[in-house]
Structure 1
Amino acid sequence: MARARATSVHRAPDRPALRIGIGDRVVLGERDDEWPQFVWATATGIGGWIPATLFDAEHGPATALAAYDTTELDVDPGEPLVLHHELADWWWVENTRGARGWVPARKIERID
């Protein structure tokens, strides 16, 4: 497995994670200003930022083409991480305590 370390602080937003599966119906809203490849998606009363490429529409009602979990992981500079996969300039990582979540690629550096 590829390894990395956090280069700067990242804090997860204070909201519940949105988890969608293939075929789930959502409502898509605006694009993110900082991360334009992400769109605000809402399902079952929960919202979160998800890469727009994972849906069959650009806005309004849409169907998920892939599963996605919006969980982000808090990290601190120097913290060791295991890299699992990258999507839309974010990495799904795991810390030494086994917690997993997304961290922006710009806040980590590979060390393998």
Structure 2
Amino acid sequence: MQRARVIAEHRSPDRPSIRVSAGDSVTLGERDSDWPQFVWATLAQGLGGWIPAALFDRDTGMATALGDYDTRELATIIGESINVHYEQEGWWWAENAKGESGWIPARAIELIEGDPT
């Protein structure tokens, strides 16, 4: 775990987060224009979210998840200090002082030097 300072506000999307587990079947759609390494994945229940394409056994259509993923994002404000745990595809899994956790783009934070990685 490492500490980071938020340098750009991040807002969570106005849609429910989804979770996939290894072995889950999803339907893959378009790639994100800002984050092309992410693909829109739709669960059988109809809910969808952006998930790294590398987590699936194919690029389009019906696919099987090869690992677990939660699309929850963490809302932050400039100047806030957060704990970051690991990075994936340009996003960090982070936790704020209230114990809330989720993804935040790497470009929205600055790692605090001297903290362990």
TM-score normalised according to structure 1 size: 0.98
Q: In the comparison of the two structures, how many residue pairs are matched?
A: 112
**What SS does structure 2 have at the residue aligned with 1:53?**
helix
The CA deviation at 1:20 is: 0.5
User: In the alignment, which residue of structure 2 is the partner of 1:37?
Assistant: 37
Q: Matches of residues 1-112 of structure 1 in structure 2 within 5 Å? A: 1-43=1-43, 44-111=45-112, 112=115
RMSD: 0.5
Q: Quick one: which amino acid aligns to residue 99 of structure 1? A: E
Distance 1:3 1:80 in 2: 7
Tell me which stretches of 4 or more aligned residues in structure 1 moved more than 2 Å: none
Q: Quick one: which amino acid aligns to residue 32 of structure 2? A: D
Distance 1:79 1:102 in 2: 15
The CA deviation at 1:88 is: 0.3
Q: Quick one: which amino acid aligns to residue 34 of structure 2? A: E
Distance 2:60 2:3 in 1: 36
Q: Which runs of 5+ in 1 are unaligned?
A: none
Q: Which runs of 5+ in 2 are unaligned?
A: none
Distance 1:59 1:88 in 2: 19
The share of aligned pairs that are identical, in percent, is 59
The CA deviation at 1:42 is: 0.2
